[in-house]
A = this chain, B = another copy of it.
């Protein structure tokens, strides 16, 4: 639907009785693109420029006047000028009085200035109604109509009517306005387009560290060791076998690290006997990026699944199977069927599949549109109950995968156990601690603390003291 708007609207425009005039200050790339788009959507555009005679490349149909002349033509002025040049507006204080001033500016760095550009503008021109808008939309996107990315335009401002007028323009351009409240939100809105996945940095770094660790660990055990002792060239394992050790182990560790901060927070609350003291900053930050950690873990789990399913197609595996059978056939030896091995093999596969299935479910419920459909009770049920079940299944999958070999001294190479043994340390510890925490004798005081109860109500005392002082 949105795509056709640029095509159909101009037609409708012709029959439209009165055209609203909007003034744009500044004739740079963004000003021109916005002007063109607004012309196409039926607005009448007046550009305000320092040198109206020198302004070039303006969309045909738009008028170019000096700043003060242009401002008189409309009660909405869109300011497409850098913050550094806002000073010139002080000369226009009278003309701009009572008008709507739309600040579209962005900065080059996050928190570049103490106050946001829009608030600075409002201080410069206390008589104008400053509205922040359009800064999240790129000139290129406006021009090409290729708005596959967010069509959301964050709008904020202190004057409700001014904000409504700007939101109507946003809608007419085929974009979605999002009211972010008063001008206090401007700083956040200005920082927004400069961010590059801020919540994902910690999860990515952490998983990179884990991957590198497991990579070297596996290379030492699977490539260097056989080369040193048997002169065997195992380098081809770098393509599939070793990644298929790195990915599941990283995924399992990351999944455990999703639930670790919750357990640490519970221990801290139990120790402090109150929930009203802030957690240390690192714990706070860790708790806020658990969703991202979990999604990165899901990515690794997905890769592990694909790498595993591809096993029987690999040349190496086919050669191995074929050779083993040929050798057996030549020796005329049949293989006995060992039921316990069948049990182990089937159960570790089944546990892995069920764990992955629940993991995918968790991932789907963390999609914004799905989690918005879900109330708090349902969300906690899914993310906490189902999350722990996933962790239990994945840990069990790894334990059963180890099976009889688990901690068997013969699997040690240079005293190093298999990588999955390392990966099991955090999840197993976590599950044991969590199990202790849900024992009734520990769960009860914790629940009371979380409902606001205090073991050492110091605040209460001080509050009372304060009152008796009065």
Contact = CB atoms under 8 A, between A and B. Distances in A.
A367 interface: yes
A411 interface: no
A314 B376 contact: no
A57 B457 contact: yes
A371 B371 CA distance: 15
Interface in A38-86: 42, 52-58
B192 A1 contact: yes
A352 to B, nearest CB: 8
Interface in A411-434: none
For the complex of A and B, the 7 pairs showing the least CB-CB separation, nearest first, are A369-B369, A239-B346, A56-B460, A329-B329, A315-B345, A29-B452, A149-B379
A184 interface: yes
A90 interface: no
Nearest to A470: B53
A342 B316 contact: yes
Contacts of A184: 9, 12-13, 16, 42, 172
Given A329-B330, A342-B315, A239 B377 contact: no
Interface in A1-30: 1, 3-5, 8-9, 11-13, 15-16, 28-29
A339 B315 CA distance: 10
Nearest to A189: B1
A152 B372 contact: yes
Interface in A121-145: 136-138, 140-141, 143-145
Contact of A330 (B29, B332, B374): B332
A34 B371 CA distance: 22
A82 B208 CA distance: 49
B326 A328 contact: yes
A180 B54 CA distance: 37
Nearest to A167: B179
Given A148-B383, A326-B329, 12 more contacts: A56-B464, A57-B452, A57-B457, A58-B463, A140-B450, A150-B374, A172-B184, A194-B377, A303-B357, A322-B325, A325-B325, A326-B334
A181 interface: yes
A184 B6 CA distance: 12
A329 B115 CA distance: 81
A438 interface: no
A403 to B, nearest CB: 11
Nearest to A194: B377
A196 interface: yes
Contact of A149 (B316, B360, B376): B376
A276 to B, nearest CB: 6
Interface residues of A, number: 153
A294 to B, nearest CB: 10
A29 B165 CA distance: 38
B378 A368 contact: no
Contact of A3 (B136, B148, B193, B198): B198
A467 B53 contact: yes
Contact of A326 (B16, B53, B318, B335): B335
Contacts of A452: 28-29, 32, 57
B374 A56 contact: no
A299 interface: yes
A311 B308 contact: no
A197 interface: yes
A204 interface: no
Interface in A285-343: 287-288, 290-291, 299, 302-303, 305-316, 318-319, 321-330, 332-335, 337, 339, 341-343
6 contacts: A1-B191, A8-B187, A15-B114, A171-B180, A240-B350, A316-B346
A150 B180 CA distance: 17
A319 B306 contact: no
Contacts of A114: 15
B315 A341 contact: yes
A271 interface: no
Interface string A357-397: 10011000011111111111111110100000000000000
A164 B179 CA distance: 12
